[in-house]
């Protein structure tokens, strides 16, 4: 007697798990947060203290007032680059602290 199982790739099962327990955009949000270092480069990433995404708002804390001021001029460009990296419009706004 042969038993047939519904075989799915592990990546599909992981995505399904997070969609069920964390919401359908959870993995995209994680990808957006993790893309910060690649989008802004190593120097700015090294001065980033904390970063999180809530309700399509990316909260970024940096350790330099000068750097925060410079980043504030590039918010729309950063949003575009992060969303392009993710492949979806995940980030709508950036708040710098």
pLDDT digits (tens, 9 = 90+) for 24-55: 788 899 999 999 999 999 999 999 999 999 99
92 vs 4: CA distance, rounded Å: 45
Question: How far from 37 is each of 21, 23, 43, 47, 79, CA to CA, in Å?
Answer: 27, 25, 9, 10, 13
Residue 15: CB partners within 8 Å, gap ≥ 6?
27
Q: Let me know: does 96 contact 68? Beta carbons within 8 Å.
A: yes
CATH hierarchy code of domain 10-96: 3.30.300
The pTM of this model reads 0.80
What does the domain layout of the chain look like in residue ranges? 10-96
72-85: pLDDT as tens digits: 999 999 999 999 99
Higher pLDDT, 20 or 83: 83
* Chain Cα centroid distance, residue 72: 18
């Amino acid at each position: 007697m042969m038993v047939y199982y519904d075989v799915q790739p592990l990546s599909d099962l992981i995505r399904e798990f997070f969609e069920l327990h964390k919401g359908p955009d959870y993995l995209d949000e994680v990808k957006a947060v993790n893309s910060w270092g690649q989008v802004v480069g190593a120097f700015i990433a090294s001065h980033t203290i904390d970063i999180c995404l809530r309700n399509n708002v990316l909260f970024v804390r940096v350790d330099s007032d000068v750097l925060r001021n410079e980043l504030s001029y590039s918010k729309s460009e950063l949003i575009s680059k992060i969303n392009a990296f993710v492949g979806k419009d995940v980030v709508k706004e950036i708040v710098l602290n």
